[in-house]
Each structure stands twice: as structure tokens, then as C-alpha cells.
Chain A
Amino acid sequence: MAKIAFDELRFVVADDNAHMRRIVRTLLRAFGSREIYEAEDGASGLEAVEAYSPDILITDITMPIFDGIELTRMIRNPEGCRHPFLPIVVLSAYSEKKHVIAARDAGATEFLCKPVSATALYRRIQNVVANPRDFIRTKSYFGPDRRRYVNSNYSGVERRTAPPGENIVDPNQVQLEA
């Protein structure tokens, strides 16, 4: 059993809505976090990630300049960002499946639908910290393993044969196709 030392976690919160940033900041501070940086669009979100090297990014989807999905893709591209393994929690009012899948396929670590609650946010952060997933690289994807469980009924081709731990990839050598 273990507890999360929130005072050691540094966050960037990217959301174009000032009220929502204030709410998320309030929740994170109450959890115990002391380092919370805010960004009001995708571009300043990326800048904040580069400048502050956060432990976790919490981002909205719809934002000016570029959105949270694009921000996630940029972060997961080692050529564009120094933190390709950064845990990313997408926090959005878009609850439709297509948006959840878009976030997942961009490389988001967790997805949280608004309205945000203290419990839901805590659980997502807890999962990010306590259960880091291996990273997968395919022709078109680099990000946390999208398989959340082992499907014992799966009968297709096994495309991932080596167990985690045998495949240490230098993130600087990871290249994604356009």
C-alpha cells in the first residue's frame, strides 16, 4: 500500500477556459501539489511543458492555436518535444466515443470527461503514477500501451512478441511517420 506524494508532482494545466483552470488548480492544490503551471492554448501548453518539465500534463481538447489532441501528438513526437513519455490526462467535455478514441490514438494516458470531480481527477492521477504503462511504437503511433487488459479470447495474429523489458528504445531514436 502506498500514497501519492502530490507535493512532489509538478503539473501543467492547459485549458482555454480560465474558470476551468482555476477549478483544476484548486483541486490539485488541495491534493497537496504545489507546482502547477497554467496554459490557455495548445501552443503555450507545449511551451510550458518544455519550460517546466512537468510530471503530468492535464489538457482540454478544444483550445485555440492547436487543440489538446494535436498537443498530445506533438509531445509524443520525440523530434518535437523533449518529454515524449510525459503522462497526459485529457480533460474534456467531449464524451463521445470518437473523441475518446482520438485522444487515445494520439497518445493520451488517461481521459476524463467534464464535469470534473475531485474523486475522478484523483483516480486518474493515481492510475498515472501507480500504474505506468509500457510504451508502444508502431508505424503511426507512439504512446502508452492502448491495451488495458489481456484478452484471453484473442485469436488474431500476435503482433507484439517480445515481453516488456526486453525492448528498451531510446526515445531520441523514435520517429513517427506523418
Chain B
Amino acid sequence: MQAQLQDADTPSTCQVNEAGIKLRDKCLKPGVENDAAQQAIANAEKALDKLSVNFDEWMATESKNLTAARDAAEAAAFSPDTLGVLFQAAHNLKGQASTLGYPFADEICASLCRLIDKIPDKSRLPLVLVDQHVDAVRAVVAEVAKGTDNPKASVLAKRLQDVTSDFLAQENAPSGRLR
């Protein structure tokens, strides 16, 4: 049985999520929710901590992928395909760097993604600024600049973000490019 709704232009019907209710009935068990949640989360954090022995190596691999993507993109004069691969490599790092203990690499990659994504004319992508982002990630990984209390990495990330913001503001200025 379906409901007939008043607005003929945008009719909608609502139905009970029976599958969801079955799932709830199957998987919600008697117990103290907060205690169970805290225990499960604590277990997960412990497991992640054990896994973290691999994180430096994973970051090195991702950093190499980023560098290779940058090299390929520059060799192809930032063709759409290679630029897409470069963006994806930076985006991958952005998604996992903080989990792997490298929040500044996360910030730098976020800045690089923003640079690639927000520049209106991709042919004007500044090679030097792209290089500075990629080299900064390499430096952060090489120096094992983990955590949030590394002053050099902090300054580096902030500076790249600021330069990128200024550059994008110019490129997106309504009156045209100011450079």
C-alpha cells in the first residue's frame, strides 16, 4: 500500500525500512551501551596502535606515489589525465596522513588538492608551487615529522596554505588575473 501525496509535482512515498529493523533486532543485544562502546573503541585504538608500526613505511610509499605523479604530470605539461592522477595521489595522502600520524602532510596535501581543484585555468598551474607542496610532503615524511608539535613542519604547512590562498584569490578575482 502506498501513500498518495498532496504535491503532484514532487510526490514522495515513505516506507518502513524493514531490512533496517531486522538488522537492529538481530544486532542490538542486551547490555550497557556506553560500556560496550567504550570497550570496542578502546580495542580499536589499541589495534590501530599495533598496526602503526607500518605507518612510516606506508607514508613513504604514498609520498613516492605523489612524487611519481608529480613527475609524470610535469612531464606531460599537466595534461588532464596526469593532473587527475596527481590530484588523486594528493587526495589519498590527505585522507590517510592524519590517521598515519602525519597531520602536517595531511594539511599540505589538502592545500595541493585545493590548488589543483580551484584554479580556473589549469594551464596556469604554477609548477614551482606544485613542487613546493610535493617536496614539503617528502621532507615531512623523510624527517618523520609526526604529530602536531613540529614547529618546522607547522610553519611549512601554514606558509604553503597562505601562498596557495593568495594565488587562488588572484586567479579567481572577478576583475581578472592580477598577476
A residues apposed to B, CB below 8 Å: 1-6, 8-9, 17, 19-20, 22-23, 26-27, 29-32, 55, 62, 83, 85-87, 92-94, 114-119, 121-122, 126, 128-130, 132-139, 144-145, 157-169
- A94, chain B: closest CB distance, angstroms: 8
**B37 lies within 8 A of A3 (CB):** yes
Q: Write out the residue numbers on chain B whose beta carbons fall within 8 Å of the beta carbon of A31.
A: 40, 43-44
**A119 lies within 8 A of B28 (CB):** no
Contact check: which of B17, B30, B43, B88 meets A132 at CB < 8 Å?
B17
A32 touching B27 in the complex, CB below 8 Å, given contacts A17-B92, A93-B95, A167-B1 = no
19 A-B pairs within 8 Å (CB atoms) are namely A8-B27, A17-B95, A23-B99, A26-B47, A55-B23, A85-B17, A92-B95, A93-B92, A115-B106, A116-B99, A132-B23, A134-B16, A136-B14, A137-B14, A138-B10, A166-B1, A167-B15, A167-B16, A169-B15
**B24 lies within 8 A of A132 (CB):** yes
Whole-angstrom CA separation of A160 from B3 in the bound complex? 8
Q: How many B residues have CB within 8 A of the partner chain?
A: 56
Contact check: which of B7, B15, B96 meets A157 at CB < 8 Å?
B7
**B33 lies within 8 A of A167 (CB):** no
Whole-angstrom CA separation of A119 from B44 in the bound complex? 9
Contact check: which of B14, B47, B94 meets A27 at CB < 8 Å?
B47
**A3 lies within 8 A of B23 (CB):** no
Q: Write out the residue numbers on chain B whose beta carbons fall within 8 Å of the beta carbon of A117.
A: 99
Using a Cβ cutoff of 8 Å, how many contacts connect chains A and B? 194
Q: Write out the residue numbers on chain A whose beta carbons fall within 8 Å of the beta carbon of B94.
A: 93, 114
Q: Write out the residue numbers on chain B whose beta carbons fall within 8 Å of the beta carbon of A23.
A: 48, 51, 96, 99
Whole-angstrom CA separation of A138 from B9 in the bound complex? 10
**A62 lies within 8 A of B91 (CB):** yes
**B98 lies within 8 A of A115 (CB):** yes
Q: Write out the residue numbers on chain B whose beta carbons fall within 8 Å of the beta carbon of A164.
A: 14-16
**A159 lies within 8 A of B6 (CB):** yes
Whole-angstrom CA separation of A58 from B13 in the bound complex? 27
- Who on chain B is nearest to A63 by CB? B88
**A161 lies within 8 A of B51 (CB):** no
**A119 lies within 8 A of B3 (CB):** no
Contact check: which of B18, B28, B36, B95 meets A129 at CB < 8 Å?
B28
Contact check: which of B13, B16, B23 meets A137 at CB < 8 Å?
B13
- A24, chain B: closest CB distance, angstroms: 10
- Who on chain B is nearest to A129 by CB? B27
Q: Write out the residue numbers on chain B whose beta carbons fall within 8 Å of the beta carbon of A87.
A: 20, 23
- A33, chain B: closest CB distance, angstroms: 10
Q: Write out the residue numbers on chain A whose beta carbons fall within 8 Å of the beta carbon of B1.
A: 166-168
Q: Which 6 A-B pairs have the closest CB atoms?
A: A132-B20, A162-B3, A93-B95, A3-B36, A118-B44, A3-B31
Q: Write out the residue numbers on chain B whose beta carbons fall within 8 Å of the beta carbon of A145.
A: 14
- In B101-137, the 8 Å CB interface with A consists of 106
Q: Write out the residue numbers on chain B whose beta carbons fall within 8 Å of the beta carbon of A20.
A: 92, 95-96
Whole-angstrom CA separation of A96 from B45 in the bound complex? 27
